Amino acid sequence: MAGLDAKGTQLKRDSNGAGTFVAVANISDVSGPSRSRDAIEVTAHDSPDNYREFVKGLKDGGEVEITINYDPGDVTHQALDADFEEDDL
């Protein structure tokens, strides 16, 4: 499959906890998710043909990285700062 043009992709945050989403300004790059899955070795002395054996382990959904041209005067960036400083979950 050919690559896709992602121009116009938006990062939105819930502005009031009630499902009202507002786009964060000045997004310049989006990458990810960097998904992975563990391989658990289960090799034993009686493994066939002296080959190592593995089973599927836990999945990690990875991370999505967003680059923002940060503007401390922008209200959407101020909201992200407030989210970071908030101690409640």
* Higher-scoring residue by pLDDT: 9, 63: 63
pLDDT > 90? residue 3 = no
In the prediction, which pLDDT does 31 show?
87
In the prediction, which pLDDT does 35 show?
94
SS3 48: helix
pLDDT > 90? residue 47 = yes
pTM: predicted TM-score of the whole model, two decimal places: 0.63
Residue 8 — pLDDT band, cuts 50, 70, 90?
A: confident
Q: What is the dihedral of CA 45, 51, 52, 53, to 10 degrees?
A: -90
